[in-house]
A and B are shown apart, each in its own frame.
Chain A
Amino acid sequence: MMPTVELRKVSMRFGKVTAAEDVSLTIKDGEYLAILGPSGCGKTTLAKMVSGIWEPTEGDVYIDGRRVNGIPPEERRVGYVFQNIVLFPHLTVWDNAAYSPRVKGLDRPQQEKIGNEALELVEMLKESDKFPSELSGGAQQKVGLARALATRAGLLILDEPLSALDARVRMELRYTLRKLVKNLGLTAIHVTHDQEEAMSVADRIVIMRKGKVVEDGPPSELYHNPKQLFTANFLGESNFLEGVVDRTIDSWAVIELRNEQFLRVRGDGLRRGQAVVVSIRPEHLTLAKVAAAPMLTGKVQDVHFAGAYVRYEVAVRTGDAMIVDAMADEARFNTGEDVIVLFDLEHVRVYPRPYAGLQEALKLE
């Protein structure tokens, strides 16, 4: 059994600043949880309260059913991997990895067994005699991970573990992270600002903003059915069109967008006159020459090649600028061309217009 973690109504205040506010969260045994949010949203604060680096101002932290408030980090059985790779520069790779068993006073054979095992897991055993400065950034972070694994803790906290690395190395290492955590059956809390990283490593994502949990769920559920506008914008990209419900027919609604443009969508629970925001992801739009509902007409403003896909910027008749992504081999429109933007009905989401305005609801920082 690996540990479950529970936060109960936890808040953290630094003077007037509230870094986390009334957060309740349970992380299951063996779960890989990502905490995702923009800079300053409180995600690192949450991780530090679990590890014991910080004590919450209010609320309780439980690890495996035991309340750990007041218990110092070294007694919480938590492995911690930091964003800035903090290896001991004067120690070899092996001595870095075996640091925890050594300070615990385990005998030499034990130290060797644990150190070797940890390095083997991250495929760095053959680099044992090197010093950190002789390694690439990615290799250093693997040693950091080995050192955390050598604590033999069942709970691993990964605080932006890949942020200091190159994009390509980051992609390779996130495979490694998830594989290790799952193979060893660990519980992991992975803090990141990178939505693709969160989606690819985690069983569940918690989205945070301004010290609060916005929502949580499995990656594909959050991506395809975000309950909050902020999630729709932060986890992936989306187009947002403001409008008013013109009429409803059974489970359908006709939305009047700006400039007297109309869009028929599925809309259970919408009512006539309601101010709404229509959201649709760029890959759920298709450009065409032939009309088919639901659609808007527009003109291609710019075309950008992104590798696997091509991104179109389209000015539609509502006055909105939309982004449309097409697979590269299906992309055949040019700047200046008049086009029809087709909506994939399955993927249209309609939200009540937020009280504080759309801009505020979507803000990334």
Chain B
Amino acid sequence: MPNIFLRGIAKRFDGRIAIDHIDLEVKNGEYMAILGPTGAGKTTLLRMIAGLTQPDEGDVLIGGKDVTKLPPEERELAYMSQTYSLFPHLHVWDNVRFSPEVKGLPPTDTDRLAREMLLLVGLLDRRDAYPKELSGGMQQRTALARALAAGTNVLLLDEPLRALDARLRIALRLSIRKLCKDLGVTALHVTHDQEEALLVADRVAIIRHGKIEQLGLSRQVYNDPVGPFVAQFLGEADFFLGEVDVVTQEKTLLHSKTRHWEARPSKLHPGQDACLAVKSENVRVLKDGEDAVNTFEAEVTRRLFLGKFIGLEMTSAETTLPVKVRLRAEEGEQIKEGSKVRLAVEPRNFMVFPIPPGGLAKELEVE
């Protein structure tokens, strides 16, 4: 029995399509991330599940029950908004007790639930504080405790970390997942942050222009993207253009005006125009004299220190787009802006896609 089931959900605002007939199934106890750029329809989707926005078409089922026509309070789920929406005039304690109390649970049960949830998020000792007396991270945990105290099995999280400092976001992202897994809650987590989505989720749904571009395990959507957009939206990717010569079970052979490429096997056919894509951490910088397949020359135009990684941006005669390369910090030490380097891509790391309708540049736009 799926815990959340969407069937042909669609929504228009002022005639513009925001959600374009989405089917989606979130399994019992699953933690799913909905990832996409601003305006992709992520929040609209979540609000339709919560009952805060009415779909124009399609059905919403929760725990097998059709809730499409039910108001939010009659759906068995908890919703946590970006801004937490804590009651400013209520103590932490009463904020967390709010939902079970409204449901008419007896005070002993209400108190027990509130105590349990505050213990879980580590805030029982702050139960007498007002929200404004708490730090951002504590407010976030209070909101989480309040949502979980509703006692439902479905938790909807709309950008739950967005209001926090970047470093705190990193520290807290796995704790939400852990809490949900420990409680056996089914969670749907909306975010625009690709690393957050990959890390917290069992499966990630990438949405764009109101449609699901791809749905799969973190590892799958990252390593086997369905097209150029997903390839570059998760992590970073470099792109080259070519024409298919041969497709075998082991590889795809392609050529451009100047050279040949060897790539992963694909479903393309000989003579078809294609784009090749590689994740920026899978581009290798060759040592002097080292040889490999798919080598090309590039010049470093920008070097960014990212802590764990060094991010390089280069120009190359093989593509009109900048070539981005991500190296481990110690590997990138010697490479400076202006350095000329030889790069290589292993065929198994080279993905091949048909040229998207509307062209590659249009496909890669994120805003």
Contacts and interface: CB of A to CB of B under 8 A. Distances in A.
B111 to A, nearest CB: 29
Contacts of A139: 367
Which of B165, B222, B281 has most chain A Cβ within 10 Å?
B165
A78 B2 CA distance: 58
A195 B199 contact: no
A168 B195 contact: no
Interface string A205-222: 000000000000001100
A117 interface: no
A329 B168 CA distance: 28
Contacts of B304: 175, 199-200
Contact of B366 (A166, A307, A311): A166
Contacts of A194: 165-167
A311 B199 contact: yes
Contacts of A197: 166
A66 to B, nearest CB: 34
A176 B146 CA distance: 41
Contact of A236 (B192, B219, B233, B307): B307
Contact of A169 (B168, B235, B366): B366
Nearest to A282: B308
A364 B192 contact: no
A196 interface: yes
Contact of A199 (B137, B218, B302, B307): B307
B273 to A, nearest CB: 27
A365 B195 contact: no
B189 interface: no
Chain A interface size, under 10 / 10 to 19 / 20 to 34 / 35 or more = 35 or more
B326 interface: yes
Nearest to A218: B305
A39 interface: yes
B166 A193 contact: yes
A168 B194 contact: yes
A325 B233 CA distance: 22
B204 to A, nearest CB: 10
A328 B235 CA distance: 12
B309 interface: yes
A38 B306 contact: no
A308 B281 contact: yes
Nearest to A41: B165
A309 B308 contact: yes
B160 interface: no
Contacts of B279: 307-308
Contacts of B165: 38-39, 193-194, 364-365
Interface string A303-343: 01111110100000000000001011100000000000000
Interface residues of B, number: 42
A175 B308 contact: no
A281 B330 CA distance: 13
A196 B165 CA distance: 12
B284 to A, nearest CB: 11
Contact of A168 (B135, B166, B192, B222): B192
Interface in B276-295: 279-282
Nearest to A196: B306
A364 B137 contact: yes
B293 to A, nearest CB: 17
B170 interface: yes
A334 B313 CA distance: 34
A77 B314 CA distance: 35
B361 interface: no
Contact of A304 (B199, B311, B329): B199
B328 interface: yes
Interface string B94-112: 0000000000000000000
A167 interface: yes
Given A166-B38, A194-B166, A307-B195, A365 B136 contact: yes
Contacts of B174: 304
A193 B167 contact: yes
Contacts of A304: 174, 199
A234 interface: yes
A209 to B, nearest CB: 12
Q: Which 5 A-B pairs have the closest CB atoms?
A: A194-B166, A136-B367, A200-B304, A193-B165, A308-B281
Given A305-B219, A308-B281, A365-B136, 5 more contacts: A193-B166, A235-B307, A308-B235, A308-B309, A365-B137
